[in-house]
Amino acid sequence: MKRFEFWFEFASTYSYPAAMRVEHLVSGSDIELLWRPFLLGPIFGAQGWNDSPFNLYPAKGSYMWRDLERICVREGLPLRRPSVFPRNGLHAARVACWFDTEPWTPEFVRQVYLANFARDLDISRGEVLAELVRSAGGPAAAVLDRAGQPDSKQKLRSQTERAIALGIFGAPSVTVGSELFWGNDRLEEALAWARRDASQSD
């Protein structure tokens, strides 16, 4: 079965609409969706950026917020510009990474994005994450405790290193084997690639 690896970062604005629609998009195909949270901080840091490029480059940032607004209108998604940007998604990413195949994980991911970009909640806070795990159907206290353990921290570090090795430099991204697609506006192309690949290997 062909794998569609969806790479996302909870602070990433364009990852929000992508995360909200990716499961529906891929469902009904023969393609397996894999959720791949990672951290952009180390990647941006290696480029000499200590902040989001949307803050460092104001013209690009202004455009992004307007573009995101148009996308959310089109997708019927709520959007409230976060009072803090970028928010620290480290703990949320550890949860999504360690528990990446739990039945509640996709809904947890969506709830985190809604918390950050529609509800203006601080997704770095334990109480906020606990509520989001619960609302997605997971055992909140056990999940947060487990996700804070050393092997969970290491798993997210390794996943970020794998992202870098795959050539990933931004979010959201999709990889199909070694083929890389970057951006919410490349999801359809990535899926078509996976399907073509799958039919060629039949």
Closer to its own copies by CB, 111 or 159: give it.
159
65 near its own copies, rule: CB under 8 A? no
Cβ proximity to its own copies: between 69 and 120 the closer is 69
Footprint (CB under 8 A) of its own copies, residues 151-180:
164, 167-170, 180
How far apart (Å, rounded) are the C-alpha atoms in residues 105 and 46? 30
**Quick one: which of 32, 42, 55, 63 contacts its own copies (CB under 8 A)?**
63
Q: How far is the CB of 45 from its own copies (least distance, A)?
A: 13
Token pair of 30 as six digits: 């023969």
Alpha-carbon torsion angle 129, 142, 97, 42, nearest 10: 60
Among 21, 25, 34, 67, binds its own copies (CB under 8 A): 67
Calpha distance 49→53 (Å, rounded) = 7
φ, ψ at 170 (rounded to 5°): -165, 175
Q: What is the DSSP letter of 5?
A: E
**Residue entry with tokens 């569609």:** 4
Closest CB 182 distance from its own copies, rounded Å: 6
DSSP H or E segment with residue 174: strand 173-176
Which is nearer to its own copies, 117 or 181 (by Cβ)?
181
Residue 103 burial (10 A CB sphere; 0-12, 13-18, 19+): exposed
SS3 for 131?
A: helix
| Among 23, 75, 131, 185, contact with its own copies (rule: CB under 8 A) | 185
Map the footprint of its own copies across residues 95-114, applying CB under 8 A: none
Regarding 70 and contact with its own copies (CB under 8 A), the answer is yes
Task: Answer yes or no whether residue 77 interacts with its own copies by CB under 8 A.
Answer: no
| Amino acid identity for residue 154 in this structure | Q
The footprint of its own copies on residues 26-55 (CB under 8 A) is 47
- Which residues of this chain interact with its own copies, rule CB under 8 A? 47, 57, 59-60, 62-63, 66-67, 70, 164, 167-170, 180-182, 185-186, 189
